[in-house]
Amino acid sequence: MTRERSDVTTLQVDLGERSYPIYIGQRILDDAGLYRRHIPADQVMVVSNETVAPLYLERLTTALDGFRVASVILPDGEEYKTLEVWRQIFDALLAERFDRQCTVIALGGGVVGDMAGFAAACYQRGVHFIQVPTTLLAQVDSSVGGKTGVNHPAGKNMIGAFYQPRCVIIDTTTLDTLDDRQLSAGLAEVIKYGLIDDPEFFSWLEHNMERLLARDPGALAHAIERSCRDKAEVVAADEREGGRRALLNLGHTFGHAIETGVGYGEWLHGEAVAAGICMAMDLSRRLGWVDQADLERVVDLMRRARLPVAPPAGIDRDAFLRLMAVDKKVLGGRIRLVLPDRLGHSRISDDFDAEKLDQTLRQYGRSPG
Amino acid sequence: MTRERSDVTTLQVDLGERSYPIYIGQRILDDAGLYRRHIPADQVMVVSNETVAPLYLERLTTALDGFRVASVILPDGEEYKTLEVWRQIFDALLAERFDRQCTVIALGGGVVGDMAGFAAACYQRGVHFIQVPTTLLAQVDSSVGGKTGVNHPAGKNMIGAFYQPRCVIIDTTTLDTLDDRQLSAGLAEVIKYGLIDDPEFFSWLEHNMERLLARDPGALAHAIERSCRDKAEVVAADEREGGRRALLNLGHTFGHAIETGVGYGEWLHGEAVAAGICMAMDLSRRLGWVDQADLERVVDLMRRARLPVAPPAGIDRDAFLRLMAVDKKVLGGRIRLVLPDRLGHSRISDDFDAEKLDQTLRQYGRSPG
């Protein structure tokens, strides 16, 4: 019944029996065939938010004609990624009396995907799950790899599960309705892939940043595909972050401290990651792993992507140390960081001169007020 | 450093890389060697409740000398097995700034084990977990097999995870402090194993019920070991309840309806299961799968174990149907039940005369007031 469309790119995340495809294409959000292929029974719960639902929920629901579809609309923003809001998904599932064979679809950005995925992981100890990311950040990062969860006031993503979707459906035309700030936030994660292990992609980004900001469909498609490919490879090698997968946290230990420190929702996740990557580059420079010119190239690219290159005032050195101490990247009391060791390559390390980290934190940290 | 003790029985739950031992013995709750063998790093969070902590927490903490130990004490009772109370475990873990290498120990009955295990499954997407069950019900059933979770007002165990412990430490002397009602509740699950696939054990229980009620150590040890062995075998064959494991739900679909219907905490889980097993036997008799004498043997054994053999007033036929419809045993709208098809053997079936089920519900259901 479903014809393979030639204009859809399919990537595979190789995880044995938990393997799944990522579909990337234009106007595939309502491709009924894709859903029919991955939904095993008739009950479907769409989880979305107040911003995305008015734009796309009806199109998705129409494509799901023939299924028994219900939806739950969450408030929009990182500050709502809490246990309390998460609970609303269970209220909706139980109000519909949905059973173990039901499918949860996340329609929205990273917050919706993380919460819907974590609810799918826990409802009746696990039901089917599909990601339909509608922000650049979710399309290039959070929808792929199975990290789900919610925040705790004391730390980002502290409560969650590894839970893989049955498929990821990336409709690049949804970026047409994304606001500029959200687009830029997504670009921070795109630049991240270039810095972890893809110097060629970093260079491509330097040459194509203006096309991306102008939402050139070809440029966006390339950036999304390359990012998903890079991420799928790392996740396939290390699903539960025993080693290599931690590389994907480049800029995130500093970034999570920023998000928690200023209050969830004040800064977008991608904005905090951008500043965090600049801090990681600064530390690498102090360690002599990269030089001043490399640092400037990264800072320059972030600026061109309209992203912050330093944290906001209000988080000083002591606050950074305190906030970083609860991050999941801490092991046995030592701070473990992902640090570039040349432009386009990073390593995981807890073996660096702590004094240099202190210098970076003093340089970037500023007292409140 | 740790000497293998000759007075400790060790059973193995075979689950590939998630395999783990069940230790059964007297006064092993504070056997430091057992803990040292299964705790990989220095941070330990003991989760207990207001009833059990005053009795055993200090002994356990003393045995954990050398580790960094913290504890969180939850209120006691099924009515507290909620998302809200569960959250307190994360508050405690984060207040201590515990990292990914920490170990959560559940010290208590089934409610503590289910909530602590579910928190261990979700804290930083999964940390180490040890079960130290102190009620008969937890020792013979809930501590083994990795089912964890909390209740939702609309249904029992609706939110949870499959998450295996690193080991289960069953100290049979903790039953000395268990009240009579809790002991009886545990016996309901013990009798269940006899009815699922162990007629010899059922017969042994008929001959030894008075010894069990008198807390004869030898009789209790045999009943616990046999129950754990039966359960471990089923779990090893079907960890995530794709098929055979559902047999362990004998009496539970009716039982969950009773617990949800009268309000969590009014009836103990084991009491509801006892009444539920009698209802399942009644339905089997109506279907001609067992005869009246078999039904009477089961009812008689439950009575001798001081357990209820029928639900309380207040749940009529319609309430049963409504409550059973949200249970996880429902698939595609059909009610799937575990039903004895001879004394000492049960099967999973959704292919039975619905009129007979209706007769059972009318027989046992009674209107409120």
The answer, for A121 touching chain B at a CB cutoff of 8 Å, is yes
Alpha-carbon distance A97 to B256, whole Å?
A: 15
ipTM above 0.90, yes or no: yes
The stretch B176-188 carries a mean pLDDT of 97
The answer to whether A175 and A220 are in contact (CB under 8 A) is: yes
Whether residues B154 and A94 touch (CB distance < 8 A) is answered with yes
Whether A208 shows a pLDDT value over 60: the answer reads yes
The stretch B339-360 carries a mean pLDDT of 95
The stretch A100-127 carries a mean pLDDT of 97
In the structure, what pLDDT confidence band is assigned to residue B320 with cuts at 50, 70 and 90? very high
Which pLDDT does position A368 carry in this prediction?
Answer: 75
Whether residues B101 and A147 touch (CB distance < 8 A) is answered with no
Alpha helices in chain B (DSSP H): 32-38, 53-63, 83-95, 110-122, 136-137, 180-197, 199-213, 217-237, 252-262, 269-286, 292-304, 317-325, 354-364
In the structure, what pLDDT confidence band is assigned to residue A7 with cuts at 50, 70 and 90? confident
The one catalytic residue in A249, A259, A286, A329 is A249
* Mutation site for A-interface testing, chosen from B42, B43, B101, B122 by largest number of A Cβ within 10 Å: B122
Whether residues B158 and A94 touch (CB distance < 8 A) is answered with yes
CA–CA min distance B45, chain A (Å): 15
Whether residues B152 and A126 touch (CB distance < 8 A) is answered with no
For residue B140, give the nearest of B270, B42, B322 by alpha carbon.
B270
Distances (CA, A) of A26 to A9, A142, A281, B240: 10, 20, 35, 38
Alpha-carbon distance A359 to B229, whole Å?
A: 59
Write down the domain spans for chain B: 9-177, 180-364
Which pLDDT does position A329 carry in this prediction?
Answer: 58
In the structure, what pLDDT confidence band is assigned to residue B265 with cuts at 50, 70 and 90? confident
| Phi, psi torsion values for A74, nearest 5 degrees | -95, 160
B111-B147-B337 Cα angle (round to 5):
100
The answer, for B159 touching chain A at a CB cutoff of 8 Å, is yes
Which pLDDT does position B325 carry in this prediction?
Answer: 81
In the structure, what pLDDT confidence band is assigned to residue A4 with cuts at 50, 70 and 90? low
Helix, strand, or coil (residue B109): coil
Alpha-carbon distance B306 to B304, whole Å?
A: 5
Inter-axis angle of helices A199-213 and A292-304, to 10 degrees? 30
DSSP A293-311: HHHHHHHHHHHHTT--SSP
B-chain residues within 8 Å CB-CB of A149?
122, 125
The stretch B85-102 carries a mean pLDDT of 96
The stretch B110-134 carries a mean pLDDT of 98
Which pLDDT does position B327 carry in this prediction?
Answer: 64
Which pLDDT does position B328 carry in this prediction?
Answer: 59
The stretch A97-101 carries a mean pLDDT of 94
Task: Give pLDDT tens digits for B193-239.
Answer: 999 999 999 999 999 999 999 999 999 999 999 999 999 999 999 99
- Estimate the share of chain B in helix, then strand, then coil, as percent rounded to the nearest 5: 50, 20, 30
Mean pLDDT estimate for chain B: 95
A348 Cβ neighbours under 8 A, 6+ residues apart: A243, A246, A247, A336, A337, A338
The stretch A105-123 carries a mean pLDDT of 98
The answer, for A68 touching chain B at a CB cutoff of 8 Å, is no
Task: Give pLDDT tens digits for A270-313.
Answer: 999 999 999 999 999 999 999 999 999 999 999 999 999 999 99
A102 Cβ neighbours under 8 A, 6+ residues apart: A41, A43, A44, A45, A93, A123, A127, A128
The stretch A212-221 carries a mean pLDDT of 96
Which pLDDT does position B60 carry in this prediction?
Answer: 98
Straight-line distance from the first to the last Cα atom of chain B, in angstroms, rounded to the nearest whole number:
63
Which pLDDT does position A51 carry in this prediction?
Answer: 97
In the structure, what pLDDT confidence band is assigned to residue B124 with cuts at 50, 70 and 90? very high
How many Cβ atoms sit within 10 Å of the Cβ of residue B2? 11
In the structure, what pLDDT confidence band is assigned to residue A146 with cuts at 50, 70 and 90? very high
Alpha-carbon distance A55 to A44, whole Å?
A: 19
For residue B235, give the nearest of B312, B163, B183, B329 by alpha carbon.
B163
Whether B7 shows a pLDDT value over 90: the answer reads no
For B89, the closest chain A residue by CA position comes to A159
Identify the architecture of domain B180-364 in CATH: Up-down Bundle (1.20)
A-chain residues within 8 Å CB-CB of B83?
83, 87
Which pLDDT does position B1 carry in this prediction?
Answer: 37
Stronger pLDDT, A69 or A351, i.e. the higher one: A69
Query: Active-site residue numbers of B?
Result: 125, 147, 189, 231, 241, 245, 249, 252, 256, 269
A148 Cβ neighbours under 8 A, 6+ residues apart: A113, A114, A115, A116, A117, A118, A120, A121, A160, A161, A162, A163
Which pLDDT does position B2 carry in this prediction?
Answer: 43
The stretch A106-130 carries a mean pLDDT of 98
Alpha-carbon distance B129 to B46, whole Å?
A: 10
Q: Which of A285-289, A332-336, B333-337 has the largest mean confidence?
A: A285-289
Q: Point out the residue among B90, B147, B328 whose CB comes nearest to the CB of A159.
A: B90
Mean pLDDT estimate for chain A: 95
In the structure, what pLDDT confidence band is assigned to residue A169 with cuts at 50, 70 and 90? very high
B26 Cβ neighbours under 8 A, 6+ residues apart: B7, B171, B172, B173, B217
The stretch B311-316 carries a mean pLDDT of 94
Task: Give pLDDT tens digits for A11-54.
Answer: 999 999 999 999 999 999 999 999 999 999 999 999 999 999 99
Which pLDDT does position A1 carry in this prediction?
Answer: 37
The lowest-confidence range among A18-32, A313-327, B7-21, B353-367 is A313-327
The answer to whether B41 and B102 are in contact (CB under 8 A) is: yes
Distances (CA, A) of B211 to A48, B190, B206, B303, B342: 58, 14, 10, 15, 26
- Would you identify the CATH topology of the domain A9-177? Rossmann fold (3.40.50)
Task: Give pLDDT tens digits for B9-36.
Answer: 999 999 999 999 999 999 999 999 999 9
DSSP B15: -
For residue A79, give the nearest of A117, A114, A119, A111 by alpha carbon.
A111
Alpha-carbon distance B321 to B310, whole Å?
A: 16
In the structure, what pLDDT confidence band is assigned to residue B43 with cuts at 50, 70 and 90? very high
Alpha-carbon distance A329 to B125, whole Å?
A: 12
Which pLDDT does position A369 carry in this prediction?
Answer: 61
Q: What residues of chain A, 276 to 335, have a C-beta less than 8 Å from chain B?
A: 325-326, 328, 330-332
A269 catalytic residue (yes or no): yes
Whether B331 shows a pLDDT value over 60: the answer reads no
